[in-house]
Amino acid sequence: MRLLRYLDDVVVWAPAKVNLFLEVLGKRPDGYHEIATLMLAVRLYDTLVFRAAPAGEIKLECTRKDLSTGPDNLVMRAAQLLRERTGCDKGCHIRLVKRIPMGAGLGGGSSDAAATLLGLNRVWQLGLWRPELAKLGAEVGSDVPFFFHAPAAWCTGRGEVVEPTPVGPSLDFVLLFPPFGLRTADVYARVQPGTPRDGAAIRTALAQGTPETIGPLLFNRLQEAATAVDGRIAEYDRRLADLHPAGHLMSGSGSTLFALCTGPAEATRLAEALRSGTPDYSVSSVRSCA
């Protein structure tokens, strides 16, 4: 996340993430699933603008009119939690410029929540350190702590136990956004257990930063379950495979799929090929965050 101050405003850029590896290890007593995942932040950003407001007033507006701005929104949940834990009674007006698709497996809501904790910490002059904010974030959502440790991390537990991971040179991706989102609960409900895979090799490969080495190691236990929810996931995955990138995979619980490319030229080629005709999906080329 990047934070800047412009006159009366604090602006935070909240990145998306992709999962290069995701294994489901079993269901926990608390109802969540135990996972092991390698996450990487990419340069697709939501933008949050914070401005101090009268005491007690927290207001959220969003460029997406179909996104709730009420207490169920993760931004509002993060803001309320921060006030409760610090005893702060200050207010804030928050504007969310939404670019990360919703229900897409890219962590947009979690990233927005992390950005909210970071931005309000500055606006309200609370003086909390990032590890403290990350601990609060874990109460808002499993993926929230990752964004305080980006660009890359190995995440375990329900995703909230974060171990920063070395990452080599920037990687190029093409993201394919289906015309539908998937509910995380629906996908996890269809997960079939399998022999657990180990993520050590892909963590080593990511540190070296070679797409040709990383590509064959991409894995997501949730992809088969997501395909059971909506069969179009398999169709889009085949479309990516036919273009022969270094690797291809679904991110998180879907619905976004991505192609890992050998460089910017291949990313351009793949994006143009995917946009040919009249597809029912949208496409974006992005690089990983530094």
CA distance 10 to 8: 7
Report yes or no: 114 and 137 within 8 Å, Cβ to Cβ. Answer: yes
Closest CA to 219 of 239, 229, 205, 235: 205
- Supply φ then ψ for residue 216, to 5 degrees: -65, -15
CA distance 203 to 38: 7
Please count the other Cβ atoms lying within 10 Å of the Cβ belonging to residue 139.
14
Looking at this protein, which amino acid is placed at residue 137?
Answer: G
Dihedral sign, Cα of residue 201, residue 207, residue 212, residue 217 = positive
The DSSP letter of residue 262 is S
Beta bridge partners of 287: 172
Report yes or no: 217 and 19 within 8 Å, Cβ to Cβ. Answer: no
Q: Is 17 designated active site? A: yes
The secondary structure element, H or E, covering residue 109 is helix 108-123
Which DSSP string corresponds to 34-102?
A: EEEEEEEEEEEEEEEEEEEESTT-EEEEES-TTS--STTSHHHHHHHHHHHHHT---EEEEEEE--SPT
Report yes or no: 181 and 101 within 8 Å, Cβ to Cβ. Answer: yes
Choosing from 90, 98, 112, 143, which is the catalytic residue? 143
CA distance 83 to 176: 38
> Under DSSP, is residue 247 helix (H, G, I), strand (E, B) or coil?
strand
Q: Is 65 designated active site? A: no
How far lies 129's CA from each of 28, 78, 118, 135, in Å?
A: 30, 16, 9, 10
Active site residues: 17, 143
